[in-house]
């Protein structure tokens, strides 16, 4: 594997390999010396054109725990704010001899474009409303761990149902998750008001429903998406309150969930909007586990891409 | 003992055109000899340690792990003490990571804290010594054992680093190009050590 640009780059075996390795990597967090020498002498640059806390810091920790040198460049405070183009920025960074570029950009397809310009490995850390493959991997990792509480060596998600609820139109998390969860065998149901369902959704390998209460009793995993207020120029739903009534994971809905089902949220959460405090802090909430999984999964991906010969 | 003891046709056909230098593989240890070697190594470890106190057996995947369990079983029979057994994957610590495509990583499992204990590293074949070098580094990141020893089923020579084993099942002289194939019942369905000729390239290195 040369780049990780889309969750569609991964077949079921590769996904399972990455998740298995992430399990091994998670043990490193419990050791006295949280460092493996595998990427000694490699340089990873986090090139972030968009704000991020957890993705950037977990990529940074992942790289450092594998002994790579990690450099962070954000658009603010770099030449990007002086008007440098994406191409020039990417070529400049690559010219310094980096081995991998982790790119987050507000334009869909920017990491793919960058991968055409340079020889270094490119990892997509979220591009516009397109994809966020490492988020989908860490979601799959967390969900698999949840399933493994009942079936210890569960590998595939065959026969499982995952509901992804909220702003599908603007969500790169939803797109990557649809691809990856389907690859692993899950049935994905997208739940959203019609205004937040993208056009062309008929061609996705999913079921679509506009009534959350109809889906809740069937789903093994309920993944709540953040209402992305920064991408909302209005008109998608009348008021936040009405959104909560229709699509928020409220306390009554928590009780309507299938027994044994669990809750995910990619964060950051808007408590009281798409998810109630009761649901976020519920015993069957996997949200904190998702954050912890971020480092393990990104270590695994960095090792897969950079751990061998060129 | 010239290849007659191989019960399974697992050996690859060398194929046409490989006649030059393609002698048959030789069996150097059969199941009985492996069992006796394990029993002797287990006794030696107990003798050197004056009992099972503070011992931890760490197998190096893949085949070091079942060997470590076998040693523990012998020790249990002798001393009546269950010595903790773990697995120590060394992939990330190898010095040749960049010479190969990305290597799959094995499982590491620490049964007890290694701090202050006597760790016996267990592997199937001692060759260049590079795996053991990597294992020492890996172990160092898990804690600081009081003593580290090395037990191997086969020492085939050709060391590239100043490393030696404390306990050896069998010393098997080999040529550099040859491959020592250790098969264990837990993984391969049969107990056998054989030397494969130079032109034979098995998948497990």
Section A120-125 average pLDDT: 97
Nearest residue on chain A to B92, judged by CA atoms?
Answer: A38
| Residue A1 in domain | no
CB contact under 8 A, A309 and B92: no
Question: Is there a single domain that holds both residue A286 and residue A147?
Answer: yes
CB contact under 8 A, A303 and B104: no
User: According to the model, what pLDDT value does residue B16 have?
Assistant: 43
Size of interface A-B (CB pairs under 8 A): 49
Q: What is the CATH number of the domain that holds A62?
A: 3.40.50.1370
Q: Which domain, by its residues, includes A194?
A: 133-290
Question: Is there a single domain that holds both residue A180 and residue A251?
Answer: yes
pTM value is: 0.89
CB contact under 8 A, A36 and B93: yes
Task: Answer yes or no: is pLDDT of B108 > 80.
Answer: yes
**What does pLDDT average to over chain A?**
94
Question: Is there a single domain that holds both residue A266 and residue A168?
Answer: yes
| Residue A47 in domain | yes
Q: List pLDDT tens digits, range A258-302.
A: 999 999 999 899 999 999 999 999 999 999 999 889 999 999 999
User: According to the model, what pLDDT value does residue A157 have?
Assistant: 96
Question: Is there a single domain that holds both residue A298 and residue A198?
Answer: no
Q: Where are the alpha helices (DSSP H) in chain A?
A: 12-28, 54-65, 86-95, 110-117, 133-148, 172-183, 212-215, 240-247, 251-256, 277-280, 287-306
Question: Is there a single domain that holds both residue A59 and residue A165?
Answer: no
Q: Which of A17, A24, A37 sits opposite B93 (nearest CB)?
A: A37
Decide: helix, strand or coil at residue A244.
helix
Q: List pLDDT tens digits, range A290-299.
A: 988 999 999 9
| Residue A196 in domain | yes
Nearest residue on chain B to A17, judged by CA atoms?
Answer: B104
Task: Report the alpha-carbon distance of residue B17 to residue B4 in Å, rounded.
Answer: 24
The CA-based angle B6-B10-B12, given to 5 degrees, is 115
The region of weakest confidence among A238-242, A243-247, B51-55, B80-84 is A238-242
**What Cα–Cα distance (Å) separates residue A194 from each residue in A129, A183, A201?**
17, 26, 11
Residue B102 touches partner A, C-beta closer than 8 Å: yes
Q: Is the link from the previous residue into A268 a cis peptide, with omega within 30 of 0? A: yes
User: According to the model, what pLDDT value does residue A281 have?
Assistant: 96
| Residue A163 in domain | yes
Residue B73 touches partner A, C-beta closer than 8 Å: no
Residue B127 touches partner A, C-beta closer than 8 Å: no
Question: Is there a single domain that holds both residue A219 and residue A145?
Answer: yes
Question: Is there a single domain that holds both residue A156 and residue A286?
Answer: yes
Task: Report the alpha-carbon distance of residue B126 to residue B159 in Å, rounded.
Answer: 8
Q: Which of B99, B101, B141 sits opposite A33 (nearest CB)?
A: B141
**How many CA atoms lie less than 13 Å away from B43 in the CB half-sphere?**
7
Q: What is the CATH number assigned to the segment(s) B27-95+105-196? A: 3.40.50.2020
Task: Answer yes or no: is pLDDT of A234 > 80.
Answer: no
Task: Answer yes or no: is pLDDT of A166 > 60.
Answer: yes
- Using an 8 Å CB-CB cutoff, list chain A residues near B135: none
ipTM: 0.83
Q: List pLDDT tens digits, range B131-182.
A: 999 999 999 999 999 999 999 999 999 999 999 999 999 999 999 989 999 9
| Residue A2 in domain | no
User: According to the model, what pLDDT value does residue A22 have?
Assistant: 97
CB contact under 8 A, A308 and B104: no
- Using an 8 Å CB-CB cutoff, list chain B residues near A17: 104
Q: Give one DSSP letter per residue of A92-160, joined into a string.
A: HHHHTT-SEEEEEESSTTHHHHHHHH-SSEEEEEEETTTB-HHHHHHHHHHHHHHHHTTSTT----TT-
Q: How many domains does chain A have?
A: 2
CB-count exposure of residue A156 (10 Å: 0-12, 13-18, 19+): middle
Nearest residue on chain A to B95, judged by CA atoms?
Answer: A38
- The alpha carbons of chain A give a radius of gyration, in whole angstroms, of 19
Question: Is there a single domain that holds both residue A142 and residue A117?
Answer: no
């Amino acid at each position: 594997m040369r780049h990780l640009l889309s969750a569609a780059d991964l077949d079921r075996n590769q996904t399972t390999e990455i998740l298995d390795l992430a399990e091994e990597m998670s043990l490193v967090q419990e050791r006295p010396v949280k460092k493996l020498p595998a990427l000694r002498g490699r340089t990873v640059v986090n090139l972030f054109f968009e704000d991020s806390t957890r993705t950037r810091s977990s990529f940074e920790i992942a790289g450092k725990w594998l002994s790579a040198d990690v450099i962070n460049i954000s658009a603010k405070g770099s030449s990007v704010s002086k008007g440098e183009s994406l191409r020039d920025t990417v070529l400049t960074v690559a010219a310094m001899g980096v081995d991998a570029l982790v790119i987050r950009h507000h334009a869909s397809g920017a990491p793919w474009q960058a991968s055409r310009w340079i020889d270094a490995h490119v990892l997509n850390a979220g591009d516009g409303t397109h994809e966020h493959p490492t988020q989908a991997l860490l979601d799959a990792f967390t969900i698999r761990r949840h399933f493994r509480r009942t079936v210890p060596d569960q590998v595939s998600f065959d026969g499982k149902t995952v509901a992804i609820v909220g702003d599908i139109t603007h969500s790169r998390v939803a797109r990557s998750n649809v691809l990856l969860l389907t690859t692993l065998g899950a049935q994905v149901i997208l739940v959203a008001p019609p205004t937040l369902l993208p056009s062309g959704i008929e061609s996705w390998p999913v079921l679509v429903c506009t009534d959350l209460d109809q889906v809740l009793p069937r789903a093994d995993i309920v993944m709540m998406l953040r209402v992305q207020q920064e991408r909302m120029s209005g008109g998608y739903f009348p008021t936040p309150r009405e959104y909560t009534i229709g699509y928020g994971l409220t306390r009554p809905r928590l009780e309507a969930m299938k027994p044994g089902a669990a809750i995910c949220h990619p964060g950051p959460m808007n408590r009281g909007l798409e998810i109630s405090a009761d649901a976020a802090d519920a015993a069957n909430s996997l949200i904190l586990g998702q954050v912890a999984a971020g480092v393990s999964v990104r270590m695994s991906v960095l090792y897969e891409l950079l751990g061998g010969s060129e | 003992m010239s290849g007659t003891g191989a019960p399974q046709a697992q050996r690859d056909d060398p194929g046409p055109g490989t006649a030059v230098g393609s002698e048959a593989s030789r069996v150097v240890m059969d199941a009985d000899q492996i069992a006796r070697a394990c029993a002797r190594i287990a006794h030696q470890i107990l003798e050197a340690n004056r009992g099972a106190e503070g011992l931890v057996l760490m197998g190096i995947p893949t085949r070091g792990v079942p060997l470590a369990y076998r040693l523990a079983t012998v020790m249990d029979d002798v001393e009546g003490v269950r010595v903790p057994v773990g697995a120590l994957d060394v992939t990330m610590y190898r010095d040749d990571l960049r010479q190969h495509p990305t290597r799959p990583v094995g499982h590491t499992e620490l049964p007890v804290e290694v701090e202050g204990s006597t760790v016996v590293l267990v592997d199937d074949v001692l060759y260049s010594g590079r795996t053991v070098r990597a294992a020492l580094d890996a172990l160092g990141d898990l804690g600081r054992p009081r003593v580290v020893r090395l037990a191997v089923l086969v020492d085939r020579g050709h060391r590239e680093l100043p490393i030696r084993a404390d306990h050896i099942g069998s010393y098997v002289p080999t040529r550099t190009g040859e491959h020592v194939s250790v098969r264990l019942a837990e993984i391969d369905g049969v107990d056998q050590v054989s030397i494969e000729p130079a032109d034979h390239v098995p998948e497990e290195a």
